[in-house]
Amino acid sequence: MIAQFVEKHDHLVHRFLESILGVMTWSLLTSPVWLGLIYPAAIVYMLTFFTVYWSFMAFRHTIGMAIGYNNYKKELAVDWGDSCKKLDFSVLPDKNTLPSSLSDVRHMILIPAYSEPFGVLNDTINSILNQTFPSTQIVLVFTIEQKYSERVIEDIKKL
């Protein structure tokens, strides 16, 4: 019976369900005004709840950020290039999908170029070339928006 009603009045049901979210949002946003006039104690509880909730969330995110920063510092201390050189490719799973050695590994770097000035592209390329990974194993791919393509292509050719 409900399925038949929904099929018959699909547009109205869809519109009703869309408007529920808007009504709930505006009711919550305007509730301090109208609920304060009708039932002031509810506003006190609601504001207390939101204050405690947002304080808890701020504390939680601060702790998460500190843990993430400590993990980041630990990872910076690891020499990943040396770890990869010590890697024995023969014991890794899925050998048919992996390169046979580290010298066969290729990195593709995708660089989206919109309307960046030449200095930004130049700094990007220089930082890629000045790293410790062999530049012969790096493939650079530029993606360019058509609107500024002529200028960006000229800047790339200058590099």
Contact (Cβ atoms closer than 8 angstroms) between residue 124 and residue 152: no
pLDDT at 64 over 90: yes
21 belongs to a structural domain? yes
- If one counts every other C-beta atom within 10 angstroms of the C-beta of residue 142, the result is 15
Q: What is the pLDDT of residues 93-149, one digit of tens each?
A: 888 888 888 888 889 999 888 878 888 888 988 998 888 888 888 999 988 888 877
Q: What are the φ/ψ torsions at residue 106 (nearest 5 degrees)?
A: -120, 140
What residues are paired with 113 via a beta bridge? 144
94 belongs to a structural domain? no
Reported as type and span, the H/E element at residue 62 is: helix 40-77
pLDDT at 159 over 80: no
152 and 103: one domain? yes
Contact (Cβ atoms closer than 8 angstroms) between residue 158 and residue 118: yes
130 belongs to a structural domain? yes
